[in-house]
Amino acid sequence: SKSLLGLKGMSREEITSILDRAAYWEKHPSKVHQELQGKFVANMFFENSTRTRFSFEVAEKRLGAQVLNFSAAVSSVQKGESIYDTVRTLESMGIDAGIIRLKPSGVLEHLASHIQIPLINAGDGNNEHPTQALLDLYTMRKHFGYLKGLKVSIVGDIKHSRVARSNLWALKEMGAEIRFCAPEPMRAAELADHVQYVSMEEAVTEADVVMMLRVQLERHEESMFGSAEEYRLHYGLTAERAATMQPHAIIMHPAPINRNVEIDDEMVECERSKIFTQISHGVPIRMAVIERALS
């Protein structure tokens, strides 16, 4: 099966082929195609989502698939049914592929090895969010025309970020120069051999892409920084800091956004911000990934 569990270990050729197929779909905007006519795809979200869930649903419908939406909150998960039993149940009903978002890290691989249908990771704990990173790479490649040598700074709550991890693996494979910037408690010790941490000044002034991460308040066991205002002061992309970016540099953020915490309100839709462009690229990227899973 052509599952997509993560980008760690995916080759440059394979990443490029997904980005190229997404470019094809972006150039063919006629609303509904027939590629997946007669296929049933289930969106299984065990954790909340707006962008990922709806762009998968748009992508599935644009490919002509039948779409089933599963929400843990209104399912038998509330009666104690496990993730495995839930996915096996949907598989038994004859679905052809599953999109899955999970709260815990490290469960998906085990689950996929016991399930026959292809599974696509829509975010698993702090491990990976491969379709997010693919749409991020797509946005960068489309804007600059290349990825090799591109200087990308990822700033913020690295420790809890599956977006940072998926971008790290994919950007490194594509030859980009990636740097992290985070306060000490938000760094990821296990990534120390793979990436360099730089100061906020360096992260902002020397990059082609400044990617801000959401401070994930729901994943913090204890306060990892002082007040929101203090975080903004030291690690926020304030209007003053954004003015020190290179003239050609762009701002990215996977969203949802804590406005005036990691990024100032006025920067969210400023000229150099690609935040809503990233969201629009979620649809063609997910079309390419679902098609890959089912063809």
Q: Which residues bind ligand CP (CB under 6 A)?
A: 49-53, 123, 132, 254-256
Q: Give 91 or 130: the residue with its C-beta nearer to ligand CP.
A: 130
204's tokens? 């902002």
The helix/strand/coil state of 7 is coil
Instruction: Indicate the residue whose CB is closest to ligand CP.
Output: 52
Query: Whose Cβ is closer to ligand CP: residue 121's or residue 153's?
Result: 121
Q: Which is nearer to ligand CP, 159 or 286 (CB)?
A: 286
CB of 168 to ligand CP, least distance (A): 16
Q: Is 214 annotated as a binding residue?
A: yes
Given the complex with ligand CP, which of 198 and 255 has the nearer CB atom? 255
Give the shortest CB-91-to-ligand CP separation in angstroms.
23
R_g over Cα of the chain: 19
Axis crossing angle, helix 12-27 with helix 130-144, rounded to the nearest 10: 70
Cβ closest to ligand CP, residue 48 vs residue 246:
48
For 146, 202, 210, 232, the CA distances from 206, given in Å and listed in that order, are 18, 6, 9, 20
Q: Are 142 and 179 in contact (CB under 8 A)?
A: no
**Shortest Cβ distance from residue 57 to ligand CP (Å)?**
11
How many C-beta atoms surround the C-beta of residue 226 within 10 A?
11
- Known binding residue 129? Answer is yes
Distance, CA of 206 to CA of 194 (rounded, Å):
19
- Cα separation, 76 vs 70, whole angstroms: 11
132 is annotated as contributing to ligand binding? yes
Annotated binding site for L-aspartate: which residue ranges?
79, 162, 214
- As annotated, the binding site includes 51-52, 79, 101, 129, 132, 162, 214, 255-256
**Annotated binding site for carbamoyl phosphate: which residue ranges?**
51-52, 101, 129, 132, 255-256
